[in-house]
Amino acid sequence: MSWKVFITPLLAVAAANVVFPVNISRLVLEILISSAVWMIVNYDMLSKSPFFRIHKSYVATLHTLLILGSLASSAVIAKFGSALSTIYLFAALSILLFEEASARGIGVFLSVLMFVHFNEDIWILLEGLIMSIIASITLRYVYRRIDVLKSALIMSIVQAVLFSMKVFIIGTVGKLEIPLAAANPFISSIIILGLLPYIEYASRIYSNIGLIELGNLNHPLLKLLSMKAPGTYHHSSMVANLAEAAAERIGANSLLARVAAYYHDIGKVKRPVFFIENQFEGENPHDGISPFLSHLILDEHVKYGRVLARKYRLPIPIECVIAEHHGTRVQVFFYNKAKELDPNVSEDDFRYPGPKPRFKESGIIMLADAVEAASRALKGKTHSQIRSTVEEVVMGIFGEKQLDSSGLTLEDLENIIDEFVRVIMSFYHHRIEYPKESIEVRALNGVKK
């Protein structure tokens, strides 16, 4: 764990203390307790999400939310009381952008910090913890804006009940506290939905709502792909179907897998005819150039894809998928062609730039990409032919150690193979002919052909 994470609780405490004159003994207590809570939260998040290790934007965005949350919560509670506490707002923003562990973490951190900050007010702690837990449950599977409003409705009812009971727990409740507490989640939900696109654009960390918008085939990059490289566009849709089904089966993020698959070959818009799926005339431009140049052109679709991902502010995991979907695999065809010209040529000169997949969805897309290409070349389309091809491709990539950092287990691979076979069979289902014998048996049983 980096020493930098120690800075965040200090900044959060400093932000909270902007509101009140600093009391040294309280300040020390706040720093000690909030640092301890933050260390636990950080450990929880870093151990559960690979993205916090991959890109600094995750850590920076989370810490910014935490510091702003400390400042806003202390200012609002000091001025309006805990009924309008902003803990739900920041816990909700973090669960929409990150994983639920981080949302609970931010909520718990802010609740504890505000509890210490406002003279160990047990009510603030109780309310903050309940808000954070309910936010992490109701916002876990949000795919549409309306889901945020539904969460706000549930939270509003909980707040109204909680503040109605305040008179029994604390002994007193203000005249406006119950209606303000009930209105708070709705006000927060409007702010959350208003802020989300700005945060997504700035941080390149997207909520499911933002990912669904990127999966819209009207996105300018996907339109460009469909016009310039229609073969790649079709291939990407097939990869998306395979990857989504496999991710769903092993409990990975199926929405991320689908949307990332749409964009994985976006770099092919630059020189589409150099890729086999776009060679409709039957002419292969690689025939007229050296294998070394072909290798550079193949590498370029990965590098240019990353350039486009950054230019169009695509999510960080999608840029990772673009970079990782070929890992460091060897371009065997051009390597063999080069060996005919120069027997001393090294395999390493014909590798994709990588890196290897660093999270499950990225590993799934690498497999789906290779399986989709292999399934197109299949002569026969029986279940056993498809299964043996899928197994050969998946276990080949596993044997090349391309999946070592992806987090995929052997059990995951078995499930992914099953799912790939099922999806490919459904693609070709209408083309499969019944053997003569079974047609006769079906006819005898009165089943229509």
Nearer to Fe ion, 265 or 412 (CB): 265
Nearer to Fe ion, 144 or 376 (CB): 376
256-285 residues in contact with Fe ion (CB under 5 A) are 265
User: Shortest distance, CB of residue 349 to Fe ion, whole angstroms?
Assistant: 19
- Residues 6+ positions from 274 with CB-CB distance below 8 Å: 285, 286, 294, 297, 298
User: Shortest distance, CB of residue 315 to Fe ion, whole angstroms?
Assistant: 18
User: Shortest distance, CB of residue 373 to Fe ion, whole angstroms?
Assistant: 7
Nearer to Fe ion, 200 or 369 (CB): 369
Nearer to Fe ion, 265 or 361 (CB): 265
Rounded Cα distance, 78 and 82, in Å: 8
Would you say 398 and 323 are in contact if contact means Cβ atoms under 8 Å apart?
Answer: no
User: Shortest distance, CB of residue 305 to Fe ion, whole angstroms?
Assistant: 8
* x/- track of binding to Fe ion for residues 223-262 (CB under 5 A): ----------------------------------------
Q: Which stretch binds Fe ion (CB under 5 A): 150-158, 311-319, 366-374, 390-398?
A: 366-374
Residue 351 phi/psi, 5-degree rounding, is: -95, 150
Nearer to Fe ion, 78 or 276 (CB): 276
Say how many Å lie between the first and final Cα of the chain, rounded: 65
Say how many CA atoms lie within 13 Å of 86 toward its Cβ: 23
Nearer to Fe ion, 177 or 265 (CB): 265
Structure tokens at 278: 């776009």
Q: Measuring CA to CA, how many Å separate 145 from each of 91, 141, 149, 319?
A: 17, 12, 7, 25
5-34 residues in contact with Fe ion (CB under 5 A) are none
Nearer to Fe ion, 101 or 261 (CB): 261
* x/- track of binding to Fe ion for residues 368-407 (CB under 5 A): -x--------------------------------------
DSSP for 208-226? HHHHHHHTSTTSHHHHHHH
> Count of residues binding Fe ion (CB under 5 A)?
2
User: Shortest distance, CB of residue 274 to Fe ion, whole angstroms?
Assistant: 12
Q: Measuring CA to CA, how many Å separate 165 from each of 80, 151, 159, 161, 170?
A: 19, 21, 10, 6, 9
Would you say 362 and 325 are in contact if contact means Cβ atoms under 8 Å apart?
Answer: yes
Burial class (CB in 10 A: 0-12, 13-18, 19+), 126: middle
Nearer to Fe ion, 265 or 324 (CB): 265
Rounded Cα distance, 52 and 203, in Å: 13
Q: Which stretch binds Fe ion (CB under 5 A): 107-115, 164-172, 362-370, 413-421?
A: 362-370
Residue 242 phi/psi, 5-degree rounding, is: -65, -50
User: Shortest distance, CB of residue 306 to Fe ion, whole angstroms?
Assistant: 12
- Residue ranges in contact with Fe ion by CB under 5 A: 265, 369
